[in-house]
Amino acid sequence: MTFVASQGDRKYRTSKRVGGLVDCSSLQVELRHFDPGLQVDLTLECTEIAVLLSGQSKIQWTGDGHRKEAIALPGVAWICPAGVHESGVEVSGIMPESLHIFLPSPLVGQTALENFDIDPAKAQLAYAGGVPDLVVLQLAGLFRGLLNRPLEPTDRLFLDGIQLALSAHLMGTYSSARWQPPARTPVIDTRRLQRVLDFIEARIASEISLDDLAAEACLSPFHFSRVFRAATGMAPHQYVISRRIEAAKEKLRFAQSSLVEIAFDTGFGSQANFTRVFRKMTGVTPGQYRALINS
């Protein structure tokens, strides 16, 4: 399957493409910025994997005949197999970075399946929308590193490896024979979840305890932890740290504040703690990150 036009431009009327793979016909990867609004009802001939990289928004949609809603956070993904109709997709907030991977159908050729002794039925994917998936998020980060530049031969080899890893993860997790919607997973009402998320954003520079968050959701700390992890894929303290890292990245990109000031403004308490956590989460120090993005 050869992609001759942007799949995202066809489907997402309130978004703009801010990045993509250059000179690649085997798959299409687009980084998109979303503004609020209703998208286009569409059935794609390819398989789409979408994952939010930054921002948050309430999203309502109908996929595979079922009406749903979710709070999209970084790491929340949509798995939409070729031929599935999505309609009434409405984005309520701004999502600065959403990565969309369009894969040919079938994901893996018959010969490759036979070589690995994989049942072809496992290559048929189920529809899964609004599910936290940290593996897809990690692979999306690798794709993102290849955007907006011509691909070198070594890049193409790396790209083939990422695509194969993604296909294997999709077949292992979302095959129609294996995937079951988490019907009995404890859930949190989207309004309560949004209230908690807004609470975190408003107090990102302050101490935030589990009791504070549970009280905002009107739940016990134990029950809140369970439903929050089910909704976001992260424990509450992990989510708070991730939001502090994202807030720090924004300040490192656009502000001239010192590292000490950024550390206090994003709730890390000290430059030493800020540097330790930032390097653990990103692989580089805040100073190195600032130098990289401003080079």
Report yes or no on 181 lying in a domain: no
26 shares its domain with 122: yes
70-112 per-position pLDDT tens digit: 888 888 999 999 999 999 999 998 898 999 999 887 776 665 5
Final residue of a structural domain among 174, 208, 242:
174
Residue 259's domain is classified under what CATH number? 1.10.10.60
Q: Check residues 215 and 65 and name the one with the higher pLDDT.
A: 215
Q: Do 169 and 194 fall into the same domain? A: no
Tell me: the pLDDT tens digits for 138-192? 999 899 889 988 888 999 999 989 998 998 899 889 988 778 766 555 678 888 8
Domain annotation covers residue 81: yes
Is 167 in the same domain as 204?
no
Q: What is the pLDDT of residues 213-250, one digit of tens each?
A: 999 999 999 999 988 988 887 899 999 998 999 899 88
Could you tell me if 102 and 199 lie in one domain? no
pLDDT at residue 2 in the model? 64
277 by DSSP, 3-state: which?
Answer: helix
Same domain flag for 212 and 169 = no
Question: Does one domain contain both 168 and 251?
Answer: no
What proportion of the chain, given as a percentage, has pLDDT over 90?
49
How far is residue 107's CA from residue 101's CA, in Å, rounded to a whole number? 12
Q: What is the pLDDT of residues 20-29, one digit of tens each?
A: 988 777 789 9
Is 73 in the same domain as 208? no
What is the CATH classification number for the domain harbouring 38?
A: 2.60.120.10
Are 28 and 3 a contacting pair, CB within 8 Å? yes
Domain that holds residue 219: 190-293
Indicate whether 195 and 168 sit together in one domain. no
pLDDT, mean over the chain = 87
User: Could you tell me if residue 179 is inside a domain?
Assistant: no
Cβ atoms 28, 21 nearer than 8 A: yes
Position 53 in a domain: yes
Residue 185 lies in a domain: no
| 2 in a structural domain | no
CA distance 209 to 206: 10
- 153 and 256 share a domain? no
Indicate whether 75 and 47 sit together in one domain. yes
So what's the pLDDT on residue 113? 65
112 shares a domain with 56: yes
The residue whose two tokens read 């031929």 is 83
- Angle (CA) 102-122-103 rounded to 5° is 10
Q: Is 15 in the same domain as 137?
A: yes
